[in-house]
Amino acid sequence: MLGWSNGGSTVLSVIGRKTALKGGVAFYPGCQFYADQPRWHPRVPLAIEMGAADNWTDPQPCETIAARWPDAITLTLYSGAYHDFDWPNLPLTLRTGLASSKDKTGQAYVGTNPAARDKAVAQTLAQFRRWFGQE
C-alpha cells in the first residue's frame, strides 16, 4: 500500500488493522493520531518517507512511532526537504490558509528536493522488490 500526506495517514490506519498486505509506504503522513494511540501498532512493515524540514506535517510524531516499533517501521527523514519533496519540478513555495501546520500558523513550505526525491523513489522501489520477492 502506498500513500501521500492524508493518503499516507490512511496507510497507517490500514496497516494497523490489516495483515493481508505485504507492507506500506507512507510519504509525509500525519502520525500524531497514531503516536497518541498506545494500542495502535503496524501489523506489516511500514516505511515512512518524510522531509526533516516539513512544517506542514510535523515529523516528530512519526519519529515517536518509529521509535516505538523499530522492528516494523523504517523512517527516513531527508535533510532540507519539505512537504511534497518528491513532486517533480515543484518550486519551493509558501502555502497559506492551511487548516493545519506544524506551527499552527496555517503556513507551510512545499517543493521538490531533487536529491531527496531520487533517494525516496529508489528506496520505495527497492522496498517493493523485497516485499514481492523480486530482489
- Phi and psi at residue 54, in whole multiples of 5°? -60, 115
Asked if the model's pLDDT at residue 135 lies above 70, the reply is no
- List the chain domain ranges: 2-131
Q: Going by DSSP bridges, is the β-strand pair 108-110/93-95 parallel, antiparallel, or unpaired? A: antiparallel
- Can you tell me the distance from the alpha carbon of 82 to that of 103, in angstroms, rounded to the nearest whole number? 14
- Can you tell me the distance from the alpha carbon of 58 to that of 31, in angstroms, rounded to the nearest whole number? 8
Grid cell digits, residue 37: 494511540
Nearest by Cα to 27 from 1, 3, 44: 3
The per-residue pLDDT for range 2-54, each reduced to its tens digit, is: 999 999 999 999 999 977 899 999 999 999 999 999 899 999 999 999 999 99
The per-residue pLDDT for range 63-122, each reduced to its tens digit, is: 999 999 999 999 999 999 999 999 999 999 999 999 999 999 999 999 999 999 999 999
Name the DSSP class of 12. H
Burial of 123 (0-12, 13-18, 19+ CB in 10 A): middle
What pLDDT shows up at residue 57?
96
DSSP 63-98: HHHHHHSTTTEEEEEETT--BTTTSTT---EEE-S-
The per-residue pLDDT for range 83-99, each reduced to its tens digit, is: 999 999 999 999 999 99
**Domain range 2-131, CATH class:** alpha beta
What pLDDT shows up at residue 19?
79
